[in-house]
Amino acid sequence: MQIGPYQLSNQLIVAPMAGVTDQAFRNLCLRYGAALAVSEMLSSNPDVWDSDKSRQRMTHSGEEGIRSVQIAGADPDLMANAAKFNVEQGAHIIDINMGCPAKKVNKKFAGSALMQSPDLVKEILQAVVTAVDVPVTLKIRTGWEPEHRNGVEIAQIAEDCGIASLAVHGRTRQCMYKGFAEYDTIKAIKQTVSIPVVANGDIDTPEKAKFVLDYTGADALMIGRGAQGRPWIFKEILHYLETGKKLAPIKAEEQCTVMLEHLKKLYNLYGEYKGVRFARKHVGWYLNLEEQRQFRADFNRLETAAQQHSLVECYFDELV
């Protein structure tokens, strides 16, 4: 799949997830085979750019691969300025968020709330595409609510405005993450526009990945929650798409190595205090089985990086 001048090495993209797809997580996913990893959402409001959270999200030092930065907002001028600023900071691709269903985002008429106003969508897309000389991509949902799935209309606007590729999550904003993703709208969008279309939503196994590609005709897949605690899912899917066979489950020794590396990267990125707290949710995803409940409870009580590292090592030593 081609995005502007960038030829992706395969069809797998890491979805942007606030509080999850930081640089530590993105680099892990890239190493396991993802062709592109989109950054966490950045506000277009310059008043918040000096916050610790925004500065960390804007950091590209040590970044692997193509740098795609997602911005969110509802004001065309602010969005254009945010795009220019992030290109100056090293972004290779600007991604526009019109898919986030969170209330705190939607109440500002940003994220998926924008799908209620096609005219404003057009203004924002035109402003951002005109403002930068790098490819601009767009992430949307199928619509605002099940009774009003206007994803095809928004996709046509995106193509007319010069958007380089379009990612579509197979739910409406009203659906949040409930129920199951539907792929009929994504299929209809792919049949309507000529720009690359990326299918997103409930892709959590190699078999599901192949089904969604075949059913929608999409050019690529975007994987979010399916990669939480499983950055190796990209390797599994690639192997299945290429051979039709499933890889053997990841060995405990490799899982331990990945987790410890991930923890170290979190401590380095956020400092020990915040890193320890971010580590809790990631470890909860890595070890999410019912029989691992006690381990998670013990891990979540720890307050230092050394304690967390030691407990993970001990757990896998006993397991092996």
As given in the structure block, the two tokens for residue 201 are 């939503």
146 is in an annotated binding site: no
| Domains of the chain by residue range | 2-243, 252-318
225 in a labelled binding site:
yes
The confidence score (pLDDT) of residue 61 equals: 61
pLDDT at res. 58: 61
Query: Is 171 annotated as ligand-binding?
Result: no
Quick one: pLDDT band at residue 60, thresholds 50, 70, 90? Answer: low
Determine whether the annotation assigns residue 101 to a binding site.
no
Pick the CATH number of 2-243 from 2.40.110.10, 3.40.50.1100, 1.10.357.10, 3.20.20.70: 3.20.20.70
pLDDT at 53: 62
Return the percentage of the chain with pLDDT > 90, whole number: 82
Band (pLDDT 50/70/90 cuts) for residue 47 is: confident
User: Does residue 195 have a pLDDT over 80?
Assistant: yes
Looking at residue 4, its pLDDT comes to 95
DSSP 168: E
Does residue 17 have a known ligand-binding role? yes
Look at residue 176 in the predicted model and tell me its pLDDT: 86
Inform me whether the pLDDT recorded for 59 exceeds 70.
Answer: no
How confident is the model at residue 64, as a pLDDT?
75
Residue 179: other Cβ atoms inside 10 A: 10
Is 80 exceeded by the pLDDT of residue 16?
yes
pLDDT grade for 62, boundaries at 50, 70 and 90: low
Summarised one tens digit per residue, pLDDT across range 91-124 is 999 999 998 877 777 666 678 889 999 999 999 9
Q: What tens digit of pLDDT does each residue of 217-247 get?
A: 999 999 999 999 999 999 999 999 999 999 9
> How far is Cα 146 from Cα 244, in angstroms, rounded to an integer?
34
Over residues 148-171, the pLDDT tens digits come to 899 999 999 999 999 999 999 999
Instruction: Say which DSSP state 37 is in.
Output: E
- Would you state the structure tokens that stand for residue 6, as one six-digit string? 């960038």
pLDDT above 90 for 253:
yes
Q: Give pLDDT, residue 51.
A: 62
Does residue 31 carry a pLDDT above 80? yes
The catalytic residues are 100
Q: What are phi and psi of 89, to 5 degrees?
A: -85, -5
* Residue 16 DSSP one-character state: P
pLDDT at 52: 65
Query: CA–CA separation, 297 vs 292, rounded Å?
Result: 9
- State pLDDT tens for residues 123-150: 999 999 999 999 999 999 999 888 989 9
Average pLDDT, the chain: 93
- Looking at residue 105, its pLDDT comes to 77
| Cβ-contact 275, 266 below 8 angstroms | yes
Flag whether 18 is marked binding: yes
> What local confidence, expressed as pLDDT, does residue 174 receive?
87
Residue 22 near residue 56 (C-beta atoms within 8 A) = yes
Mean pLDDT of 12-39: 95
How far is residue 39's CA from residue 144's CA, in Å, rounded to a whole number? 24
- DSSP structural state of residue 132: -
Mean pLDDT of 261-281: 96
Q: Does residue 87 have a pLDDT over 70?
A: yes
The pLDDT value given to residue 218: 98
pTM: predicted TM-score of the whole model, two decimal places? 0.93
